Amino acid sequence: MSAEKLFVEPGARLNARAWTKGLAPSRRLALVSEAGAWRRFGPGVEKALMRAGFRVHRHLLPSGEAAKTWDSVSDLLATMLSAGLGRDSALVALGGGAVTDAAGFAAAIFQRGIPWVSVPTTLLGQLDSGLGGKTGINLAGGKNLAGCFHRPRAVVCDPEVLASLPPRERISGFGEALKYGLVFEPAIWASITGNWDALMAGDPVLTGKVVERCAAWKRRVVDSDERETKGPRELLNFGHTLGHALESAAGLGVLRHGEAVIWGMRAALRLSHRCSGLKASFAAEADRFLATLPVPLPRRIEPRRLLELARRDKKARGGRARFVLLRAPGRPVTAFVSDREILRAVREIL
């Protein structure tokens, strides 16, 4: 599938005629959201879709990670069936990463796949999770263990919806953005760390630039390795092996995704120095910045529990944990890491 069209501009969410062009021959679609996102943005998007000539069937998922369950997706599919939607219909997902993950998964499996559009309302969704077509739900064994690759036709990144984001959501989003700076483009890291206060205050111009740069990298990487079989797409998982483990061990919803990734990157920087040759000076400098971020850390998490979860990560092979590490800023590599080194890194950050 070709790259999704990207719409990044103020008010983009309300210009539905642009991002729904050719979307659904039946002119019928499901508009999927959750209570918080719907309250702030849903009525406006619904009216925009109706003005564009669509018959809209609304469905609200549970908030947060509770959206990403078999039961929630089953309820959504039932709504779509009862509304008479078919293969000539479409789906629009309006919300954060949990909504786009679950709704995109529903679009992937409904009638063996219908087109969809992602309208992310969080910073994390606009610069990362709302793009690329990784859709899915959580299982008892961990995050995102069931899903499909199903890229949206369009991703609508409207800076206006970010104006009211609370600090934790901003930190979560920029945590993911920092990953792009470490793995692909050091200038992104420098821009974020050098303008941190302005970004946290919601500067729309600076935020828009970060979103555009990260989204461009995400599309470029996904275009080269859409189903994560050739290698490049794995590189997007820097900080995620232990980040996902920490999210699962803490309990779904306790940590924001980007917060967990920040902890995971702190561990990955240590492993990069000891296992792939990253200079100690850079690893320490980057870790000092990450350590200043006010990210909560759940207590009483057993390091061996995180090791066990890391072994189940999708990058693992034969029960051996495999990490994305850095040789240098902008020079990533994948490597197997011993249990001993993983436990050492975990104990250093907990």
- Look-up of token digits 């609370």: 166
Instruction: Work out the pLDDT band at 228, boundaries 50, 70, 90.
Output: confident
149-162 mean pLDDT: 94
Residue 346 has pLDDT above 80, yes or no: yes
275-300 mean pLDDT: 94
**What separation in angstroms does the CA of 169 have from each of 18, 96, 129, 147?**
28, 10, 13, 25
Contacts (Cβ under 8 Å, ≥6 apart) of 180: 127, 188, 213, 214, 217, 218
Instruction: Work out the pLDDT band at 74, boundaries 50, 70, 90.
Output: very high
Q: What angle do CA 63, 226, 61 make, to 5 degrees?
A: 15
Interval 84-98: pLDDT, tens = 999 999 999 999 989
130-155 mean pLDDT: 91
Quick one: CA torsion of 276, 306, 286, 277, rounded to 10 degrees?
Answer: -10
What does the mean pLDDT of the chain come to?
A: 93
* Gap between the Cα atoms of 157 and 169, Å rounded: 16
**What separation in angstroms does the CA of 241 have from each of 67, 78, 143, 183?**
22, 34, 11, 15
pLDDT score at 145: 86
Structure tokens at 33: 């959201």
Contacts (Cβ under 8 Å, ≥6 apart) of 186: 329, 330
Contacts (Cβ under 8 Å, ≥6 apart) of 100: 93, 118, 120, 125, 129, 130, 135
Interval 247-264: pLDDT, tens = 889 987 789 999 999 999
Instruction: Work out the pLDDT band at 2, boundaries 50, 70, 90.
Output: low
Give which of 337, 206, 332, 181 is closest to 271, Cα–Cα.
337
Contacts (Cβ under 8 Å, ≥6 apart) of 51: 16, 17
Interval 234-248: pLDDT, tens = 999 999 999 999 988
**What residue ranges define each of the domains in the chain, with the CATH number in brackets?**
5-162 (3.40.50.1970), 167-349 (1.20.1090.10)
Residue 1 has pLDDT above 60, yes or no: no
pLDDT score at 118: 97
Position with higher pLDDT, 9 vs 266: 266
52-69 mean pLDDT: 96
On whether the CB atoms of residues 290 and 264 are closer than 8 A, the answer is no
Half-sphere exposure for 272 (CA within 13 Å, toward CB): 30
Taking the model in full, what pTM does it have? 0.85
pLDDT score at 109: 98
Residue 195 has pLDDT above 90, yes or no: yes
Instruction: Work out the pLDDT band at 293, boundaries 50, 70, 90.
Output: very high
